[in-house]
Amino acid sequence: MSRPSLKEGVALSLPLKIAGLVFWGLMSIGIVLVVVSIDILENDLRKHYDNTDFQTYTLTRELFEQTTDVSAKKLKASLKKIIESTGAVGLIVITENFGQVNVGSISEAHQVKTIYFSFKSTKQKIAYSREVTLKIFQIPVTNVLNQQKKQLITAMLFVLIVFGLLLQWILKKLLSEPIQQMVDAAQAFSLGEDVKFDDKRNDEFGYLSRFINKALTTITKRQDELTHQAAHDKLTGLYNRHEFDIRLNQFLELAKTEGLHSTLCYMDLDQFKIINDTCGHVAGDELLKQISHSLKSEVRESDFIARLGGDEFAVLFQGCIEEDAIRLATKLLKVVEQFHFTWEGKVFHIGVSIGVASITSDIESATDILGLADVACYTAKDKGRNQIHIYQPEDRELKRKQGEMLWASQIRQALKEDSFALYQQLIIPVNPESSLKKHYEILLRIPDEKGNLISPVNFIAAAELYGLMTNIDEWVVRNCFDWMIKNKSTMNNIEQISINLSGQSLTSHKFLTTIIELIENSDLQCDKICFEITETNIISNFESAIDFIYSLKSHGCKFSLDDFGSGMSSFSYLKTLNVDYLKIDGSYVHNIANNPIDRAMVEAVNKIGHAMEIQTIAEYVEDTEILHVLTEIGVDYAQGEGIASPSPLNDLCK
């Protein structure tokens, strides 16, 4: 790339400004000097003319007073000598005896001064005229001044032109050329060229160049450090995620344009979290440093290894088909298997799960290929860890994993954009003559890429797998509480609002603290809040569930045990749980009218609940026949499509 120069329009205005200031300053001074000189010249010239007139008059007068032999011819000759000596150009002398005598150049264009005088001859015997008219002719003052002005202006212009050329040459040598050299060097440096300013000069530019060269050396060194830091992971020294994304796109572009077949190897360390939690983050960081060094020593120079974050790594095998990639990935697997990490006298072993995916021209984007390798890595973990799994388009397990990853991404996006939607489903008293009021269960929906609202049944597994359930529960709780506060008049006609919670939330102290803070910082009617927890989640997190229930019931909240009866072991825990409602598992309810065993199960659960003064709710009530059987059994509440379909929460305000 050619860089611009002074000739191509890079303006160096400093020398021009200096030259302009000096030139016009001198021009102004010159004009003032010319004006003053002309004024002085005019005064001197007028004095000279006055002096000439006076001398001419004096000599003419003496001529007439001392002449003893006066004749016209002699008088004329004498007058010529007078004008030659005084500098007058012409004379006219008018006397009584000689009349008018003209001498020299007589013209109307000349300047004329007329003098009248009388005289007395000292020679008594000589006749003379007593009265004389003298006219003295001289070149006009303005003619002389104009000629002098031209000469002065011409001389001044000549001097200024010579001085301007000299000044331009001096400025070019002293300013323009050094500045241009510095500008060229600066432009070359900005384009990434390795340049130095001319520091051999002994003037100010040389001093400045030496200073700038030192600064450029420091900047270049710092720039190299920053460039390295921007592309490398600070902890391990491997390339970082940003640089990996750039290289992955380059590899994909080569696959599309040149048909270069490469392979992505996605690695996730096994048992790293155990070491990190047991020995601390310092030990975890040291392990990552050591394992990174071991992995880097095994890859080829043409390959690219990066740390993507945490304990995740990736290797790009350039120009490598799948068979060769498997061989290389196997080497990396063995490196990790043979790696022994020692910390405070203890030796730890780790493994690695590796997902392999080919980078081919039919892959649409770098995100797609990374997702495929990531899914393959998770599949390797599911199959027992410390092994390699290769992505195949027809692999069902991979497709399931990929679907879960897509759901996880969509859930994160919905949380970020606050795009979840709250729905509700009516729960009615089975006996219409009872004093029990209506309940509503809060349901969640997530929009898909077409804007359709999807039930949690489709994404709950992915949310649990990727640890997103607590985030979802917190979103539901916050938004449900906000709705209850904003719609107090509607809440006056509602007995209970039920909110489902996951097992992950039961074990989160932070989540419990968040709920308590929301309750204490608002005027919520806590006796109208009911949290639903599934039987399975309580059993698997029993101690945490007990603490969770106790903490929120102390604030007035109620609890419902959902899907009760799905696991018969829960009967032994029911005495310990301080719940307010039992929701009978819908798998027994939906066929209760036709299956005596299902009816018996519902009756048993209902009797146990009532014996413990716990109200019962039947799910999956799909028609009036089921509702009639529930009435006979004495179940307190019913919920299902036969009662009411789910609808937006705001419909309750209509």
Which pLDDT score, from 0 to 100, does residue 8 have? 44
CA 257, distance to chain mean position in Å, is 32
DSSP 8-state class, residue 589:
H
Which pLDDT score, from 0 to 100, does residue 17 have? 64
Q: What angle do CA 406, 390, 358 make, to 5 degrees?
A: 80
- DSSP assignment of 435-501, as one string? S---EEEEEEEEE-TTS-EE-GGGTHHHHHHTT-HHHHHHHHHHHHHHHHHHTHHHHTT-SEEEEEE
Q: Which of 359, 343, 341, 471 is nearest to 408 (CA)?
A: 471
Question: Do 608 and 640 meet the contact criterion of CB atoms below 8 Å apart?
Answer: no
Tell me which architecture the domain covering 419-653 has in CATH: Alpha-Beta Barrel (3.20)
Which pLDDT score, from 0 to 100, does residue 10 have? 44
Question: Do 499 and 480 meet the contact criterion of CB atoms below 8 Å apart?
Answer: yes
Which pLDDT score, from 0 to 100, does residue 67 have? 66
Which pLDDT score, from 0 to 100, does residue 616 have? 93
Which pLDDT score, from 0 to 100, does residue 14 have? 55
Question: Do 384 and 438 meet the contact criterion of CB atoms below 8 Å apart?
Answer: no
Which pLDDT score, from 0 to 100, does residue 367 have? 85
Tokens (6 digits) for 516: 């308590």
Say how far apart CA 317 and CA 329 lie, in whole Å.
10
C-alpha distance from residue 583 to each of 223, 373, 461, 619, 643 (Å): 65, 42, 22, 7, 16
- For the beta sheet containing 131-138, the strands, ordered from the edge strand earlier in sequence to the opposite edge, are 99-104, 90-95, 131-138, 111-118
DSSP 8-state class, residue 527:
G
State the helix-helix crossing angle for 469-486 and 396-417, rounded to 10 degrees: 30
* Phi, psi (deg, nearest 5) at residue 593: -75, -20
Given CA atoms 219, 220, 221, 226 in this order, what sign does their dihedral have? positive
Which pLDDT score, from 0 to 100, does residue 514 have? 94
- Beta strands 262-270 and 351-359 are antiparallel
Phi-psi group of 470: left, alpha or beta (phi > 0 → left; psi -120 to 50 → alpha; rest → beta): alpha
Q: Which of 494, 495, 489 is nearest to 580 (CA)?
A: 495
Which pLDDT score, from 0 to 100, does residue 426 have? 94
- Beta strands 558-564 and 529-534 are parallel
Only one residue has tokens 């994304």, namely 245
Sort 526 into a burial class: Cβ within 10 Å, 0-12 / 13-18 / 19+: middle
> Which is the catalytic residue, given 233, 268, 311, 473?
311
10-residue mean pLDDT series, the chain (654 residues): 44 58 71 78 83 88 71 82 87 82 86 84 56 87 79 77 74 68 68 67 66 70 70 88 91 88 91 84 90 89 89 90 86 90 86 90 86 86 86 70 76 89 93 79 87 81 85 94 93 92 88 93 92 79 85 93 68 77 89 91 91 92 93 93 92 85
Q: Which of 541, 450, 528 is nearest to 495 (CA)?
A: 528
Which residues have C-beta within 8 Å of that of residue 72, sequence separation ≥ 6?
98, 101
Which pLDDT score, from 0 to 100, does residue 6 have? 42
563 is catalytic: no
Which pLDDT score, from 0 to 100, does residue 567 have? 56
DSSP 8-state class, residue 593:
T
Tokens (6 digits) for 447: 């929009």
Provide, for the chain, the percentages of residues in helix, strand and coil under a 3-state DSSP scheme, each rounded to the nearest 5. 55, 20, 25
Tokens (6 digits) for 74: 């002699």
Tell me which architecture the domain covering 237-393 has in CATH: 2-Layer Sandwich (3.30)
Q: Exposure string (b/e) for 248-273, b if CB count within 10 Å is 16 or more?
A: beebbebbeeeebbbbbbbbbbbebe
Q: Exposure string (b/e) for 585-611, b if CB count within 10 Å is 16 or more?
A: bbebbbebbeeeebbebbbebbebbee
Question: Do 288 and 236 meet the contact criterion of CB atoms below 8 Å apart?
Answer: yes
Tokens (6 digits) for 643: 């009662």
Sequence letter at residue 88: A
